[in-house]
Structure 1
Amino acid sequence: MFAIRSSSKRSTDSVDETDHEFKTHRALIVVLFVGTAALLVWSSLTTLTGVARSTGMVVPFTQNQIIQHLEGGIVSEIDVKEGDKVEKNQVLVRIEDAVARSNLEQSITTLNAKRAAVSRLEAEISDASEIVFPEDLSSSPQIQNELDLFQQKKQQHVEELLLLDDKIRQQEIALQGYRQRLENQLKEREISAERLKGVSDLRDMGAASKSEMLQAMSAFQENQTKIDDLNHDIPQTEAALSEAKRQRTAALLKVKSEAAQEKNKLLTEIAQLHASIAGLQDRASRAEVRAPVAGIVNKMMINTVGGVVAPGSPIMELVPTSDVIAIEAQLSPQDRAQIWPGTKAVVKITAYDYSVYGALPAEVVEISPDVVKEKDKDAYFRVRLNAPNVLGEKHPVIPGMMANVDMMTRQYTVLNYILSPIVNTMDLALRQ
């Protein structure tokens, strides 16, 4: 009986052990299945970004600027030295052009004198009692000259008009006298005519002598002669009066006409002076040689104050700086199909530790149209990238620094990356 119980116990233990192994295998299969499924899901959803790696160099965002001076001259001041960082419009060098400055000052003086003269002429044309000068000429020495000339010409004009007025009054008085005398002579002629008629009647009656008749005729004839003389003098005096009045009107118009002509001439000269002064000011302004862009002084061609700069000769070389830096990199021909203008990239300046300072986000802006071939080097496409200088002024990125460039090509999933060699191999095998 003891033997039967032992056999039954061994059978039960064997069944339990088999069941445990089955459960273990099933759990392992489930884990493997779930793990494989999860791996497939992850690999199909997780994306990778391909990059085309290259080395490059920081280059000027714009070409180096060669600073020149058009007219040349004597160096009076040097404000920078090689390696200095300069801002846009900062004075670099002062070059004295004594001739241009002297001509400019003389032209401005002449211009102010002519403007003051125009103000005087306008006062003469409008017959004003005083001159109104532009405000910017209030302290100009030319004003007093024009005031004196204005008063002098005004006095001369007044004296001329007074003389003509006297002449007019004289002619008017003479004309009035002639007319009054003519009126009197006409009255006397009537009396003389009646007297002559009376003597003639008496002569016919024999009551008057011949001498009385002749005396009456002589008086009448004398009176008639005076009337004839007055009739001759009156038109002449009227003509003289009209001429005097015309002369006075002409004198008034002459002053205004001459002033208007002189004003027009001066306005033409002023316009020419403005053009001349603009050129001289432009020339004088170039006495201060200023930086056309912000940058770093790379090379100085002049170092001596008092030295002579020839017209058009270079003074210094300026390397432009910008908030945007440019990088030139080399692209392998096998990656060319994946890189185009607008492609994003990451630039790591080798002079700065990438783990500390990070990288610069960049973008491809230009790719050479053909490969560049150099002796003893593989052919490559020249790529130009722009990147913002996010490292700040304390960590300047300057031309000549080397950089590692990662240009983004395409994105694909982990599953595609794993299966791609298999698919390519199968495709090649099926074609063979």
Structure 2
Amino acid sequence: MNGAAAPVEEHEFVARKSANIILWAIVGFVLLALIWAALTEIDRSVRGQGTVVPSSKLQVVSNLEGGVVEEILVKAGEEVERGDILVRLSPTLSGADFGSSTAQISALQAKIARLDAEVRGVAPDYGNAPESQVAIERSLHAARMAELDSSQALGAARVNQAGRAVSEAQSLLEARRSTLAALEEELAMIRPLVETRVIPRVDLIKAENEANVARKEVESAEAALARARAGVAEARAEGSRLRSDWMRTSASELSQAQAELSAMQQQLPALSDRVDRTIIRSPVTGTVNRVLVTTVGGSVAAGNPIAEIVPSNDALYIEAMIRPQDIANVSLGQNALVEITAYSRTLYGVLNGTVTSISPDAVQNEQTGESFYTVEIQTNDELLDSAGTPLEIGPGMVANVNLLGEKRSVLSYIFTPITRLKDTAFRD
């Protein structure tokens, strides 16, 4: 009987030993799992969905003044480079204004060259002025110089005439002084003879009368000489005045022409810009979304849109929708993982991004009635195919975003439901 009990006891011992091994294995596994859960950290994340948008949005091209369509060079869907011509407007009106102003400026420059030369007394230098305008100014310059020469010649003639009058008055004065001297000498000889009664007194009276007449004639000749000399000075002053008036006229016209030129030159850039704006160019590199003018010869109102360009090669942004209960875990500069749903995550991976904008208020989706915050994420890299070529990511593509927050241990995630249960237990 003892021999039969021994195998049973041995079997029970083996069974207990196996149970202990399994128990300790389970305990060890649980301990290892707890240690792993306590030491392993994962990113706390906020998930959302959004769409790809270009950073510079849709570019609407218009013209400030409007005009008549002369040529349409693109159509919807075409790729364009920055500066490519989209539409030409007729430059007839703006070109006419610009051409007229340019012609007026050339005319004023030639006029200023002539007037400046007249003021400075040198030959005009017309530079590169149009020959037709130079011919006009040369004709005016010749007429003006002829006018000056005529007035100068008239002044010189008056000076010469006054000079001759001075010479004649001087000769007359000298003759009358000579006559007076002779009469005074004769009078000096007669007086002694009258006193000695050699000749009658009447001869003395006659000689004195003749001497008095001669003195008056000398005085008259002196006055005539003074008048003649004053005439010379007046003729010379008149000549100077005529030249001064001539130059003053040129100086006044020069000042006025310079003011007009300055005003015209200030207007010219605006007129040139109007002509340039008749050529409608793409402001960015991208794709033509719509061409809003379709008829050559049709008119475009001032400021009306002409074309729409979707920018390419532009930094892409994701506008993601985040639930209000998650917005507290979102901050500017937060890292994000962006999955473009059009491309397999397992094949092409995800984009790294950064939160650049958070809407201040929640908005409501009119279709679903759900509220959400708009978060803008800027992408920092590209998705590449197997050949290393960047994949095209365009506006409107759907994206799943994962906003990475602070790291938490796996153990904390396990105990979170228990903590919440404790906080809400035994409440009405």
- TM bracket, shorter-chain basis: 0.7 to 0.9
State the match for 2:90 in structure 1. 96
State the match for 1:172 in structure 2. 163
State the match for 2:324 in structure 1. 333
> 1:106 is aligned with what amino acid?
S
Q: What does 1:160-309 align with in structure 2 at a 5 Å threshold?
A: 160-208=151-199, 216-217=207-208, 219-309=210-300
Q: Does the CA contact (< 8 Å) of 2:358 and 2:373 recur in 1?
A: no
Tell me the distance in 2 between the aligned counterparts of 1:306 and 1:212. Answer: 118
User: What is the RMSD of the two structures over their aligned residues, measured on CA atoms?
Assistant: 3.6
Q: Report the secondary structure of 1:277's partner residue.
A: helix
TM-score of the aligned structures, taking structure 1 as reference length? 0.81
Tell me the alpha carbon deviations over residues 199-250 of structure 1, each in whole angstroms, 9 at most, x when there is no partner. Answer: 3543454444688657645653553343133122122212211211111221
- Distance of aligned partners of 1:140 and 1:426 in 2 relative to their CA distance in 1, 3 Å threshold: farther
Q: What does 1:15-414 align with in structure 2 at a 5 Å threshold?
A: 42-127=36-121, 129-133=122-126, 137=128, 141-208=132-199, 216-217=207-208, 219-364=210-355, 365-388=357-380, 390-391=382-383, 395-414=391-410
Displacement of 1:45 after TM fit?
A: 3.7
Q: Does the CA contact (< 8 Å) of 1:69 and 1:286 recur in 2?
A: yes
Displacement of 1:360 after TM fit?
A: 2.0
Percent identity, aligned pairs only, is 27
TM-score of the aligned structures, taking structure 2 as reference length? 0.82
- Distance of aligned partners of 1:311 and 1:201 in 2 relative to their CA distance in 1, 3 Å threshold: same
Q: Report the secondary structure of 1:304's partner residue.
A: coil
Tell me the distance in 2 between the aligned counterparts of 1:307 and 1:371. Answer: 43
Tell me the distance in 2 between the aligned counterparts of 1:357 and 1:428. Answer: 44
> 1:404 is aligned with what amino acid?
N
Q: Does the CA contact (< 8 Å) of 1:123 and 1:131 recur in 2?
A: yes
Tell me the distance in 2 between the aligned counterparts of 1:251 and 1:37. Answer: 121
> 2:377 is aligned with what amino acid?
L
Structure 2 portions without partners, runs of 5+: 1-12
State the match for 1:9 in structure 2. none
> 2:408 is aligned with what amino acid?
Y
> 1:228 is aligned with what amino acid?
E
Tell me the distance in 1 between the aligned counterparts of 2:123 and 2:27. Answer: 111
> 1:196 is aligned with what amino acid?
L
- Distance of aligned partners of 1:177 and 1:37 in 2 relative to their CA distance in 1, 3 Å threshold: farther
Q: Does the CA contact (< 8 Å) of 1:366 and 1:385 recur in 2?
A: no
Q: Report the secondary structure of 2:371's partner residue.
A: coil
Q: Report the secondary structure of 2:169's partner residue.
A: helix
Q: Does the CA contact (< 8 Å) of 2:46 and 2:326 recur in 1?
A: yes
Tell me the alpha carbon deviations over residues 257-307 of structure 1, each in whole angstroms, 9 at most, x when there is no partner. Answer: 212211221122122212332332222221111223333211112123333
Tell me the distance in 1 between the aligned counterparts of 2:29 and 2:171. Answer: 146
Q: Report the secondary structure of 1:380's partner residue.
A: strand
Q: Does the CA contact (< 8 Å) of 1:61 and 1:321 recur in 2?
A: no
Displacement of 1:412 after TM fit?
A: 0.8
Q: Report the secondary structure of 1:417's partner residue.
A: helix
Q: What does 1:6-21 align with in structure 2 at a 5 Å threshold?
A: none
Q: Which moved more, 1:168-177 or 1:295-304?
A: 168-177
Q: Report the secondary structure of 1:53's partner residue.
A: strand
State the match for 1:10 in structure 2. none
Runs of 4+ in structure 1 off by over 6 angstroms are 31-38
Tell me the distance in 1 between the aligned counterparts of 2:380 and 2:313. Answer: 9
Tell me the alpha carbon deviations over residues 43-64 of structure 1, each in whole angstroms, 9 at most, x when there is no partner. Answer: 4443201222222112342343
Tell me the distance in 1 between the aligned counterparts of 2:125 and 2:28. Answer: 101
Q: Report the secondary structure of 2:284's partner residue.
A: coil
Q: Report the secondary structure of 2:364's partner residue.
A: coil
Tell me the distance in 1 between the aligned counterparts of 2:131 and 2:312. Answer: 46
> 2:221 is aligned with what amino acid?
L
Aligned residues: 412
Displacement of 1:396 after TM fit?
A: 2.8
State the match for 2:8 in structure 1. none
Q: Does the CA contact (< 8 Å) of 2:362 and 2:371 recur in 1?
A: no
